[in-house]
Structure 1
Amino acid sequence: MSRLSIIPKLKRRKILDAIASGKRMDGRGLEEYREISVRRGVVEKAEGSAEARIGDTWVVAGVKIEIGEPFEDTPDEGILVCSADFAPVASPTFEPGPPDEASIELARVVDRGIRSSDALSLKDLCLIPGRKVYVIYIDLCILNHAGNLLDAASLAAVAALMGARKPIYEVRDGEVYPTGEVEPLKLRRLPIAVSMAKIGDAIVLDPTFDEEEVMDTRITVTVDEEGNICAVQKSGPEGMSVEEIWKAIEIAVNKAPKLREKLEAAL
């Protein structure tokens, strides 16, 4: 761990000592989440919105729905666009300016989980093939970073989609006309992202900010209701053995139902 300065090295030592005793610095077990809450309808002007909190980590997601032109290679499919804004007030590690690598990765992982799980049928979002489709924008705003942004962002995004209402358009004479009415955005799956950090030889669920600072690597596994693996994302400088990856997948499959309960209970 030569990449760490003296203070992170000392922090890592304390974290490893706690893990060796079967407990973490905050008293949790290795495979235990912090308190989780999800609330929908937090942004009045959005077509759908939600906030998710995991411990002190706080993410708000807003959904905006517009009409646009499809991509040339998918003329009969709607478009899903996910972006993330890391507000500088959320963490001393965030800086103002264009999206950095971390915010791009976060948006891509959330986007991939929704796409790979087939949560949204993009073909159902087509109005006129090759000309007019629904464009679904998911904007993620990080309000406080206390570790494990990925899981909180995924929860917020899916919860916002669950409550989203899309405007209804009438297709007439090759054009689309607003009817002034709305209908629910249909979700076919509720994908859940479960993130873990490898610290030394241990795999810990829902890493805190301090744990992420000293982790060797992180793995995020997205799971649907049937326990199918929809997406896997690994980030960090160190590798993971096949056994460690399978252990992470097993943890994700076992823990995803708890997070899904929070989604389904959100008001």
Structure 2
Amino acid sequence: MNQEKIISTVKRDYLVDLAEEEKRIDDREMDEYREIDIEKSWAGNAEGSAFVKLGKTQVLTGVKIESGTPYPDKPEEGVLMTNAELTPMAHATFEAGPPGEEATELARVVDRGIRESGMIGLDELCIESEEEVWMVHVDIHVLDHDGNLIDASALSSVAALLSTEPPEDEEEWELPEFPVSKKPITTTFAKIGDALVADPCLEEENIMDARFTMTTLEDESICAMQKGSSGPFTKDDFKKAREWAKVKSKELRKELKRD
């Protein structure tokens, strides 16, 4: 075994022991999120945008709107397309080129939370049935990765959509405003040994056995869920995550309301 693997094993054992003692490497409570900062309308060349800092994780999301062709199975609905970009500048483990598995999963989880919540009134974005609709592009750019990209990206995307204004140079746009209503909040929890932690930092993600994400609405109902990694979640783990999500989603939703 080389020295790097020895250090990795020692660090993992240390973090697992900490978690099972209900302690964390950055001294947070088990259900505590890192400091959050949200700046809406951050980019001037997009219909909507938001910059989010979750601890040292930094994400910028931009929203662009253009006309296009609807999906054949939904000829009278607008189109939501979510993309995530992970570049080597954000973390050494990311590679340049087409989206990899991690970027694809990130985009899908964020997209599912927005779509299943009914946040965007896609039925209002039809210009001409079967011919032309408005397409909403949500582009996630990870600037610095220090864990929990899912929650940071989801929060940035929701904030960007809430700040979205109708496109100024589109003559066909007839709606008085961009149709958004609900505020879905995504919360992620990691299983480390027998312990559960909220908002895992990168060091905790590197040694976690499993990850569980849920997206909830204002009435505390769940609209989307996603499990990551191969480790198991028990029924008690799910119950604890569910209760934490109710509390944490309210806290995160308050952050969205701040100017």
- TM bucket by the smaller chain? over 0.9
* AA at the equivalent of 1:254: V
Structure 1 residue 114 and structure 2 residue 125: aligned?
A: no
Partner of 1:54: 54
Deviation at 1:256, TM superposition (A): 0.2
Partner of 1:205: 198
3-state SS of paired residue (1:114): helix
After superposition, residues 95-110 of structure 1 pair within 5 angstroms as 95-110=95-110
Partner of 2:142: 142
After superposition, the C-alpha distances for 1:236-266 in whole angstroms (9 at most, x for unaligned) are: 021212221222122111210000011111x
Equivalent of 1:218 in 211, 216, 219: 211
From the superposition, tell whether residues 167 and 182 of structure 1 become closer, same or farther in structure 2 (CA, over 3 Å).
farther
Deviation at 1:57, TM superposition (A): 0.3
Deviation at 1:228, TM superposition (A): 0.5
The number of aligned residues is 256
* AA at the equivalent of 1:106: L
Deviation at 1:7, TM superposition (A): 2.7
Q: Normalised by the size of structure 2, how large is the TM-score?
A: 0.94
Partner of 1:185: 178
After superposition, residues 30-179 of structure 1 pair within 5 angstroms as 30-167=30-167, 178=171
Query: Which consecutive residues of structure 1, in runs of 5 or more, have no partner in the other structure?
Result: 170-176
Q: Distance in 2 between matches of 1:181 and 1:45?
A: 21
Q: Distance in 2 between matches of 1:40 and 1:20?
A: 38
Equivalent of 2:233 in 240, 252, 256: 240
Q: Distance in 2 between matches of 1:120 and 1:27?
A: 38
Q: Distance in 2 between matches of 1:43 and 1:195?
A: 27
From the superposition, tell whether residues 183 and 53 of structure 1 become closer, same or farther in structure 2 (CA, over 3 Å).
farther
Q: Distance in 2 between matches of 1:239 and 1:16?
A: 16
3-state SS of paired residue (1:253): helix
CA contact (8 A) 1:194 1:221 kept: yes
Q: Distance in 2 between matches of 1:88 and 1:53?
A: 18
3-state SS of paired residue (1:59): strand
Equivalent of 1:227 in 195, 201, 220: 220
* AA at the equivalent of 2:245: A
* AA at the equivalent of 1:8: S
3-state SS of paired residue (1:34): coil
* AA at the equivalent of 1:236: S
CA contact (8 A) 2:124 2:179 kept: no
CA contact (8 A) 1:78 1:125 kept: yes
Deviation at 1:182, TM superposition (A): 7.8
* AA at the equivalent of 1:252: A
CA contact (8 A) 1:168 1:181 kept: no
3-state SS of paired residue (2:191): strand
After superposition, the C-alpha distances for 1:115-146 in whole angstroms (9 at most, x for unaligned) are: 11111121011111111110000000000000
Identity, in percent, stands at 42
Query: Which consecutive residues of structure 2, in runs of 5 or more, have no partner in the other structure?
Result: none
Q: Distance in 1 between matches of 2:168 and 2:202?
A: 43
Deviation at 1:104, TM superposition (A): 0.3
Q: Distance in 1 between matches of 2:151 and 2:10?
A: 27
CA contact (8 A) 2:216 2:222 kept: yes
Structure number with the higher strand fraction is 1
